[in-house]
Amino acid sequence: AQSVTQPDIHITVSEGASLELRCNYSYGATPYLFWYVQSPGQGLQLLLKYFSGDTLVQGIKGFEAEFKRSQSSFNLRKPSVHWSDAAEYFCAINTGTASKLTFGTGTRLQVTL
């Protein structure tokens, strides 16, 4: 069965600093990968997705992620964090049928001013 690991439960960065959130997956073939963001009291919003092709994908709000097959990773990055980026971030995998997502446990991002 597939699984997703987000090793960092909580990360604090200063506004303007760079950010990298880690995501590792377990699956025997190339998965479909997603990053979602959840602001407090809100639903989930898709940041970006990887289906195939270029391993560096661009998303909304200045985020990008890189798929590395050799490391089974799909880390999320942003060059300069804004205070409004404070939220919880979820990495998810979809391995094919029925649009069923398997989520990681999430990383809560705190941004200090």
Partner 1 sequence: NAGVTQTPKFQVLKTGQSMTLQCAQDMNHEYMSWYRQDPGMGLRLIHYSVGAGITDQGEVPNGYNVSRSTTEDFPLRLLSAAPSQTSVYFCASSPRGGGNTEAFFGQGTRLTVV
CB atoms within 10 A of CB 104: 23
Least CB distance from residue 85 to partner 1, whole Å?
19
What are the residues binding partner 1 (CB under 8 A)?
Answer: 4, 9, 31-32, 34, 36, 42-46, 49, 51-52, 90, 92, 94-106
How far is it, in rounded angstroms, from Cα 77 to Cα 28? 25
Nearest residue (CB) to partner 1, 15 versus 101 = 101
Nearest residue (CB) to partner 1, 19 versus 101 = 101
- At 21, the amino acid letter reads L
Least CB distance from residue 58 to partner 1, whole Å?
15
For residue 14, what are its two tokens? 């200063």
For residue 5, what are its two tokens? 């690991």
